[in-house]
Amino acid sequence: MKIALAGISHVPGPPGAAEGLPYWIFWLLLCVILLLLAVIFLRDKDLRRRMSSFLSGARRRMLRLRLQAKLRREKEKKKALWKELGKKAWSEDVVADCVASQCERLAALEEEMRLQQMAWNEIFSKIEALGREHEERSRRFRGLASEQEEARRPSEEERKSLSARQSEILDAIGGAAWEIDAAETQIRAVDKEVRSIDENPKIPDAEKAARILKAREKAAALAERASVLQNKLPLLHDERRDIEKRQRENEARIEVFNQRIGEIEREQEEDNKVHEHEIRDWMRKKQRAQDKIVELQRLMEPLFESAGLELDTARVELDSLAVIYFQIDAVNQNVRDLEGRIERLQ
């Protein structure tokens, strides 16, 4: 307990409390230091000049970077205008010595592009023709399969009918067998009852005769019913065998139709594989033609730009080119202005 109290007594107070100095003295000293720094800065011209030079230099570098970015955009715009000028001159069939070599090369590339476009069109027409032929064959396969399915339908309907009749006969056979067994069981019970009545001395003779007669009539009826069912069973079994025979014949006919449908489907599947393989080959040819056309267009772009540069330098007079010349002159003026501003910021 004493140790705890001793520790509490040595807990430090807030800053400045131990020395007894108030907070405002700290802030006063800080303000005096800042004031002295400001005075030194105002009286030292060399320091002010270095600070100003440093800050202005940073601004100049930022401004120069922005101007250089604008200059690059203007030069790209000028190249685009040269390309447009070359394309315009090529479409207008402008004849000039300064662009003779470019025009010769462009003519060769354009002729090759025309041939490639013709090849592309032929390939595209071939692909469409293959598609139409395949669709026609598919319709024929579907028609053949539908014919077989239509021819199979009566046999399938007969199979359902025979199956239903077969179930009825089997139920009838089972029911008849059960009734015969039940009748025989009841006949045995009646015979037992007759013996019991006949051997019972307590029953009067008249009553005994009546009860025995009634039991024998019941047994006779049961025997007659069993006999009828026994006579009916062979007929049911004959009909069952006939139905089973007809079912086998019917299933054989259905199997013939199913085999033919399966052959048609396999032929169609094989035709689909051949068609897909052929289409893939022609699609690859089409893609190669497209790639060649794109490559030729890419090769023509620098020739258009080169021709535009030569025409801009020679300034071949043509009304259709005047607008593009005017746009190039505006870009040239912007380039000169930007280069001058960048030069002054060095």
- pLDDT, residue 346, reads 66
Helices (H) and strands (E) in the chain, counts: 6, 0
pLDDT at 111: 93
Per-residue confidence (pLDDT) for residue 274, from 0 to 100: 95
Spatial contact of 296 and 113, defined as CB atoms under 8 Å apart: yes
- Predicted confidence at residue 15, as pLDDT, reads 45
CA distance 302 to 271: 48
Q: How far apart are the C-alpha atoms of 265 and 257, rounded to whole Å? A: 12
Domain boundaries defined on the chain: 1-43, 53-94+318-346, 101-316
Q: What is the pLDDT of residue 18?
A: 44
How many Cα neighbours within 13 Å face the side chain of 1? 0
Distance CA 298, CA 317 (A): 28
DSSP 248-307: HHHHHHHHHHHHHHHHHHHHHHHHHHHHHHHHHHHHHHHHHHHHHHHHHHHHHHHHHHHH
Dist CA 320 CA 111 (whole Å): 25
| Locus of tokens 């020395």 | 19
**Residue 37 CB burial class (10 angstroms; 0-12, 13-18, ≥19):** exposed
pLDDT at 311: 87
| Contact indicator for 103, 307 with CB cutoff of 8 Å | yes
List the structure tokens of 104.
Answer: 């010769």
Mean per-residue pLDDT pooled into runs of 10, the chain (346 residues): 38 46 76 77 62 61 85 92 90 84 91 94 95 94 93 91 88 85 82 77 76 79 82 85 90 93 94 95 94 93 90 84 90 89 78
What is the residue-wise DSSP string for 323-337?
A: HHHHHHHHHHHHHHH
At 138 the three-state DSSP class reads: helix
- Pick from 161, 114, 219, 166: which is nearest to 211 by CA? 219
Q: State the Cα–Cα distance between residues 334 and 27, nearest whole angstrom.
A: 56
With CA atoms as reference, report the closest residue to 133 among 275, 254, 345.
Answer: 275
Closest CA to 304 of 84, 104, 76: 84
**What does pTM read for this prediction?**
0.58
pLDDT reported for residue 10: 43
User: Position of tokens 């570098």?
Assistant: 61
**What is the 8-class DSSP label of residue 318?**
-
* C-alpha of 72 from chain center: 43
Q: 101-316: which CATH number, 2.60.40, 3.40.1000, 1.10.287, 3.30.420?
A: 1.10.287
- Helices 100-199 and 205-314: angle between axes, nearest 10 degrees: 170
* DSSP symbols for 8-63: HHT---STTTTTT--HHHHHHHHHHHHHHHHHHHHH-HHHHHHHHHHHHHHHHHHH
